[in-house]
C-alpha cells in the first residue's frame, strides 16, 4: 500500500481536529496536533463497503450481521490471543459513554472510583458527572525512567478507602506505556483481593510499538479466577472511524452482563446504532490489517524524526518512550516554565496541542505537551522546526 496515497489534506473540512481550531484555540492558523484522530484516508475496503451501503438506497431497520461479531472475535483472538464470545459484547456509542453506563449500572452514587494520573482527562469528568466519588493517584517515575504503577499506594487505597472501581488505561494515554504481564497480574490480584470492579479502557490496543505487546487484562483475569472485569475498546481509534460513534464493551461475567442489560433495557438502549458503523467496523477487522500496518509505519517514523529533531536541538527536553498509542508525551520544562508554555507552543511555534495539566491536574505547573503523530510527515517536520525555533527565541529573550 502506497503511503503517499494515504495522506490527505483535511484543511477546510468540518472535522473537529481541523475545523474547530478557532473555537478551541482562538486561532485557526495553527498546525493541529491535538485531538486523537488521524489525517489518513480510510482503508479502501471500508470505503467500498460504505459505498455499497449508500448505493442500496434503502435504510430501514436492519439486524446486526453475525459476521460482524465473528470479525471482532477473530481480530481479538489473532492479535491479542484473547478468546471472546458474541454474548460478551455490548454496543456503546463511545468508550467514555460505555464507562458512564458501567458506573451508573453497577455502582451507587457516591461510590469511590480510582484513576491514575496522568491519564485521559474524561476519566475524571465521567466519574464526576455520574455522581461517583473520584479518587486520584499519580503514577511513579517520569519520562526518562519510565512510568510505573504505585502498587503500594494502590493497595493502601483499596484497603483503607473503600474503593469500588478502578478505571484503568491500557495502553496508557498519554504516557504511551504498555503494561507488562507482571504489572497487569498485580492489578488483577489487588482488585480480586479487595473486591474492586476493574474497568479497563483498551482503545489504543492496536497501536503498540517495537518489542512491546498489548495483553488484554481480562485474559489474565480469567487465569486468576477473577470475573469482575469490564473492557472497553473500539475500532474508531485504530481505523479512524470516530464519526460512526461505535465502540465495544466486553463483559465476560454473566451477572455483570445481566445488570448492564437491565440498565440498557430501562433506558431503551437496545437500538444497536447505525448499520453503517457495524459494516465499517466489520470491514476494518476483516480487511484493514495491511492499511493499519502502513499507517503505523508512518506514525512511528514521525515519532523517531520528531524525537531526533527535538533532542538534537534541545537535549534537555524529556520525551517518554513511545511504547504504544500515536500520542507523543513531551516535557518542555527544562526550557519553558508552565506559565509561558502556551505562549511558546501556540503563539510562537503555531502548534495546537494538548497540555499536560489536562491529564495531570494533581501536578502543579506541569510542563508537558501531548502531540498527535497521526498526520502528514511534512507537518511533523514543520512542527519540530517551529517548536525548536520558538524555544530558542524564548530562551534568547529570557
User: Do 298 and 384 share a domain, yes or no?
Assistant: yes
Sign, Cα dihedral of 54, 234, 98, 229: positive
pLDDT score at 12: 80
pLDDT score at 168: 98
Could you give the maximum distance between any two Cα atoms of the chain, in Å? 64
CB 330 within 8 A of CB 366: no
Of 303, 348, 356, which Cα lies nearest the Cα of 328? 303
User: Do 98 and 223 share a domain, yes or no?
Assistant: yes
Last residue of a domain, one of 261, 286, 311: 286
Mean pLDDT of the residues in the chain: 96
- Mean pLDDT over 211-227 rounds to 97
Which residues are CB-contacts of 153 (< 8 A; sequence separation ≥ 6)?
A: 137
What are the backbone dihedrals phi and psi of residue 58, each rounded to the nearest 5 degrees, phi first? -155, 135
Q: How far is residue 359's CA from residue 382's CA, in Å, rounded to a whole number?
A: 26
Residue 7: which CATH number? Answer: 3.90.1150.10
DSSP state at residue 372? E
What band does 260 get if pLDDT is binned at 50, 70 and 90? very high
Helix, strand or coil, per DSSP, at residue 121: coil
pLDDT score at 62: 87
- Mean pLDDT over 195-215 rounds to 97
- Mean pLDDT over 243-258 rounds to 97
Can you tell me which residue has the cell 486523537? 36
Residue 89: which CATH number? Answer: 3.40.640.10
User: Do 265 and 157 share a domain, yes or no?
Assistant: yes
pLDDT score at 61: 87
What band does 241 get if pLDDT is binned at 50, 70 and 90? very high
pLDDT score at 4: 80
- Mean pLDDT over 321-346 rounds to 98
pLDDT score at 272: 75
User: Do 272 and 131 share a domain, yes or no?
Assistant: yes
User: Where on the phi/psi map is residue 12: left (φ > 0), alpha (ψ -120 to 50), or beta?
Assistant: left
Q: How far is residue 170's CA from residue 184's CA, in Å, rounded to a whole number?
A: 9
Give the distance from CA 187 to its chain's centroid.
19
Assess whether pLDDT exceeds 90 at residue 11: no
Which residues are CB-contacts of 288 (< 8 A; sequence separation ≥ 6)?
A: 43, 45, 46, 238, 239
pLDDT score at 54: 96
- Mean pLDDT over 14-28 rounds to 94
Last residue of a domain, one of 251, 286, 321: 286
User: Do 62 and 87 share a domain, yes or no?
Assistant: yes
Give the distance from CA 74 to its chain's centroid.
22
Query: Which 3-state string (H, E, C) describes 289-347?
Result: HHHHHHHHHHHHHHHHHHHHHHHHHCCCCEECCCCECCEEEEECCCCCCHHHHHHHHHH
Q: How far is residue 161's CA from residue 196's CA, in Å, rounded to a whole number?
A: 11
Domain extent at residue 255 = 46-286
User: Do 20 and 56 share a domain, yes or no?
Assistant: no
Pairing state between β 112-117 and 229-234: unpaired
Pairing state between β 368-372 and 327-331: antiparallel
Last residue of a domain, one of 256, 286, 316: 286
What band does 1 get if pLDDT is binned at 50, 70 and 90? confident
Per-residue burial over 127-166, b if 16 or more Cβ lie within 10 Å, else e, is beebebbbbbbebeeebeeebebeeeebeebbeeeebbbb
pLDDT score at 3: 81
What band does 73 get if pLDDT is binned at 50, 70 and 90? very high
Q: How far is residue 30's CA from residue 275's CA, in Å, rounded to a whole number?
A: 36
- Mean pLDDT over 194-206 rounds to 98
User: Do 282 and 345 share a domain, yes or no?
Assistant: no
pLDDT score at 2: 82
pLDDT score at 167: 98
Can you tell me which residue has the cell 431497520? 61
User: Do 293 and 385 share a domain, yes or no?
Assistant: yes
CB 246 within 8 A of CB 236: yes
pLDDT score at 360: 96
pLDDT score at 273: 81
Helix, strand or coil, per DSSP, at residue 147: strand
User: Do 37 and 69 share a domain, yes or no?
Assistant: no
Can you tell me which residue has the cell 478507602? 161
Assess whether pLDDT exceeds 80 at residue 271: no
User: Do 270 and 343 share a domain, yes or no?
Assistant: no
What band does 5 get if pLDDT is binned at 50, 70 and 90? confident
| Lookup: cell for 238 | 485504530
- Mean pLDDT over 359-386 rounds to 97
- Mean pLDDT over 384-395 rounds to 98
Q: What is the pLDDT of residues 84-99, one digit of tens each?
A: 999 999 999 999 999 9
Q: How many domains does the chain have?
A: 2
Q: What is the pLDDT of residues 115-148, one digit of tens each?
A: 999 999 999 999 999 999 999 999 999 999 999 9
Sign, Cα dihedral of 322, 325, 331, 332: positive
Q: How far is residue 301's CA from residue 128's CA, in Å, rounded to a whole number?
A: 38
User: Do 196 and 335 share a domain, yes or no?
Assistant: no
Amino acid at each position: 500500500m502506497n503511503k503517499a496515497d494515504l495522506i490527505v489534506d483535511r484543511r477546510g473540512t468540518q472535522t473537529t481536529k481541523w475545523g474547530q481550531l478557532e473555537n478551541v484555540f482562538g486561532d485557526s492558523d495553527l498546525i493541529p496536533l491535538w485531538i486523537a484522530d488521524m489525517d489518513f484516508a480510510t482503508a479502501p475496503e471500508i470505503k467500498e463497503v460504505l459505498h455499497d451501503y449508500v448505493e442500496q438506497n434503502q435504510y430501514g431497520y436492519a439486524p446486526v450481521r453475525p459476521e460482524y461479531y465473528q470479525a471482532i472475535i477473530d481480530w481479538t483472538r489473532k492479535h491479542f490471543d484473547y478468546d471472546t464470545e458474541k454474548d460478551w459484547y455490548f454496543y456503546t456509542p463511545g468508550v467514555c459513554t460505555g464507562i458512564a453506563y458501567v458506573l451508573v449500572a453497577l455502582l451507587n452514587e457516591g461510590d469511590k472510583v480510582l484513576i491514575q494520573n496522568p491519564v485521559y482527562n474524561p476519566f475524571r469528568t465521567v466519574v464526576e458527572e455520574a455522581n461517583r466519588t473520584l479518587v486520584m493517584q499519580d503514577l511513579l517515575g517520569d519520562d526518562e525512567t519510565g512510568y510505573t504503577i504505585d502498587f503500594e499506594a494502590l493497595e493502601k487505597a483499596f484497603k483503607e478507602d473503600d474503593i469500588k472501581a478502578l478505571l484503568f488505561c491500557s495502553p496508557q494515554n498519554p504516557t504511551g506505556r504498555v503494561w507488562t504481564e507482571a504489572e497487569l497480574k498485580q492489578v488483577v490480584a489487588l482488585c480480586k483481593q479487595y473486591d474492586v470492579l476493574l474497568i479497563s479502557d483498551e482503545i489504543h490496543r492496536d497501536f503498540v510499538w517495537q518489542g512491546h505487546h498489548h495483553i488484554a487484562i481480562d485474559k489474565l483475569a480469567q487465569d486468576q479466577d477473577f470475573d469482575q472485569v469490564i473492557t472497553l475498546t473500539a475500532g474508531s481509534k485504530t481505523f479512524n472511524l470516530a464519526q460512526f460513534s461505535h465502540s465495544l464493551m466486553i463483559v465476560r461475567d454473566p451477572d455483570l452482563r445481566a445488570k448492564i442489560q437491565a440498565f440498557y433495557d430501562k433506558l431503551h438502549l437496545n437500538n444497536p446504532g447505525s448499520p453503517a458503523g457495524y459494516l465499517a467496523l466489520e470491514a476494518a477487522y476483516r480487511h484493514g490489517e495491511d492499511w493499519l500496518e502502513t499507517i503505523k509505519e508512518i506514525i512511528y517514523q514521525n515519532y523517531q524524526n520528531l524525537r531526533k529533531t527535538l533532542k538534537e536541538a534541545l537535549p534537555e527536553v524529556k520525551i517518554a518512550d513511545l511504547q504504544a498509542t500515536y500520542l507523543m508525551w513531551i516535557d518542555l520544562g527544562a526550557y519553558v516554565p508552565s506559565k509561558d508554555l502556551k505562549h511558546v507552543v501556540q503563539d510562537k511555534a503555531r502548534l495546537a496541542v494538548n497540555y499536560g495539566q489536562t491529564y495531570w491536574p494533581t501536578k502543579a505547573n506541569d510542563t508537558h505537551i501531548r502531540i498527535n503523530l497521526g498526520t502528514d510527515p511534512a507537518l511533523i517536520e514543520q512542527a519540530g522546526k517551529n517548536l525548536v525555533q520558538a524555544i530558542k527565541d524564548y530562551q534568547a529573550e529570557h
